[in-house]
Each structure stands twice: as C-alpha cells, then as structure tokens.
Amino acid sequence: PESLLREAATRLQDRFLFGSDYPFITPQRWLKDFDTLDYFKPEVREKILWRNAQKLLAHTAVGQMTFSS
C-alpha cells in the first residue's frame, strides 16, 4: 500500500531490508520495479538495499566472516 511506501521512505527507513521474493520475483525484476518508485531518496535507497542489512548482520557470525581472494 502507498501508506507503507511513505512510511518506509521516512519514519521506517532504518528498519526496511531488500527482499526479492525469489523465485516468484527475481532480484533483477524487484530492483527494476524499485527504481520506478519516486518515494525514496538516494540515501534511503542505499539503506534499504544495503546498509540496513549490513548493520543487522554485523552483529551475527555472518557479519564477522572474512573473505579472501
């Protein structure tokens, strides 16, 4: 609903995470649809797509993993 989008773009912007609903909607399709929404400023898009998950996972074993090439 539109009211949820408005809340996600403002008051709840630090509590929303990207989720594609795969396999019903591919991540590519979700991102394409998300890009068409005018509710979200670039900094809020970054939070929803990446930073909020980064903060959440930092407190878990996944967030403590290191990767090497």
Encode pLDDT of 39-50 as tens digits: 999 999 999 999
The number of folded domains in the chain is: 1
pLDDT at 63 > cutoff 90: no
pLDDT at 34: 92
Q: For residue range 3-57, what is the model confidence (pLDDT) as tens digits?
A: 999 999 999 999 999 888 889 999 899 999 999 999 999 999 999 999 999 998 8
Q: Give the CB-side neighbour count of residue 44, counting CA atoms within 13 A.
A: 18
Question: Within a domain: residue 65?
Answer: no
pTM of the model: 0.76
Name the residue range of residue 19's domain.
2-53
- d(Cα 9, Cα 35) in Å, to the nearest integer? 13
